[in-house]
Amino acid sequence: MASVPIKTAILDDYQHAALKCADWSSIAPRLAIDVYDDTIHDEDAIIKCLEPYTIICAMRERTKFPRSVLERLPNLKLLATTYMRNQGIDVAAANERGVIVCGTHGKGDPTTEHNWALLMAVARHIPVEHANIQAGNKTWQSTVPVGLHGRTIGLVGLGNLGKGTAKIAQAFNMRVVAWSPNLTPERAEEAGVAFAATKEELMKQSDFVSIHMVLVDSTRGLIGAPELAAMKPTAYFVNTSRGPIVDEDALVSALKEKKIAGAALDVYGVEPLPLDHPLRTLDNVVLSPHLGYVSDDNYKVFWEHTVENIAAFLDGVPQPRLMRPL
């Protein structure tokens, strides 16, 4: 007698990429796969949708799995996510319930690439000029782009992503200054950037402020109204890290009142960004739908490794990429 296929959910697959980016043929006959292309935030709705599934494939931190959700998913045995860190999953709570949590590696540096794509787009007003051309606007040029040469970029955070951003800034002959709660002058010097002793000092002198911090309790709301008020009125704010690092209401106010020149954002307090969110109506922003980790190469590794992780689970062999509690 043939075994019953194991119910498997692929979540938040907005681009319908999961089944195209990897070869699932080795495991597909043993699975009953459902693909979801929306994000559910309400816990009761999440439970109602996912309660039947034994295997759930989560994309990054789009759908959250705190203890309160995991305790109400009695059939869940394997939670496969992407990358080897996911703050949206309570790995300890999952392990207590016998749920295996596994991750993947990635490829390339899409976040740094996207950070610069956004910065360049907002500085050179590319979306505005693109829209003018496509709309048949008789005015051939309507904006004056902001040059990067000689300008100062302030990095909030100087980890791997911050250092990568600094190298590209230096290639544009920009001055780079950095600050974070734990950054020292010695580490800044090693990275070849100037050291800002305080947040305010960094905000005041920067023509572009770019965020490169991990979201933890101590960084939530790290950039608020006082920090935004310290920025130059000609300065731009760029965030490809996590939305809650910034007080979003304060940022919207600063943009509406033209206290800063503009913002380029890939991350938000709630994602997908609500349709009625005021950021969608502003004329001094460039917005993207959290694409900072998305690339063809990265997705290929994500989903190939996910297939391998599911195969290991089905075959009862050790997981090649087991995630541990943070």
What number is the average pLDDT over the span 149-164? 98
| Residues counted in the chain | 326
Q: Report which residue type is found at 159.
A: G
* Distance, CA of 306 to CA of 95 (rounded, Å): 19
* Span 253-271, pLDDT tens digits: 999 999 999 999 999 999 9
Can you give the pTM of this predicted structure? 0.95
What number of CA atoms fall less than 13 Å from residue 47's CA on the CB side?
12
* Distance, CA of 323 to CA of 326 (rounded, Å): 9
Average pLDDT of the chain, as a whole number = 97
* Span 113-143, pLDDT tens digits: 999 999 999 999 999 999 999 999 999 999 9
* Distance, CA of 123 to CA of 200 (rounded, Å): 23
Task: Examine the pLDDT at 3 and tell me if it is beyond 90.
Answer: no
Q: What is the pLDDT of residue 2?
A: 56
* Span 71-88, pLDDT tens digits: 999 999 999 999 999 999
Q: Which of 62, 151, 290, 305 is catalytic?
A: 290
Domain 110-287 has CATH 3.90.1170.50: no
Q: Is 242 among the catalytic positions?
A: yes
pLDDT grade for 326, boundaries at 50, 70 and 90: confident
* Span 176-207, pLDDT tens digits: 999 999 999 999 999 999 999 999 999 999 99
Q: Look up the CATH superfamily of 6-107+295-315.
A: NAD(P)-binding Rossmann-like Domain (3.40.50.720)
* Distance, CA of 87 to CA of 315 (rounded, Å): 28
Bridging pattern class, strands 262-265 and 285-287: parallel
Number of Cβ within a 10 Å radius of residue 142: 12
What number is the average pLDDT over the span 142-151? 98
What number is the average pLDDT over the span 25-52? 97
Q: Is 271 among the catalytic positions?
A: yes
What number is the average pLDDT over the span 222-245? 98
Domain residue extents for the chain: 6-107+295-315, 110-287
Q: Which of 227, 248, 271, 308 is catalytic?
A: 271
Q: What is the pLDDT of residue 1?
A: 40
Task: Examine the pLDDT at 213 and tell me if it is beyond 90.
Answer: yes
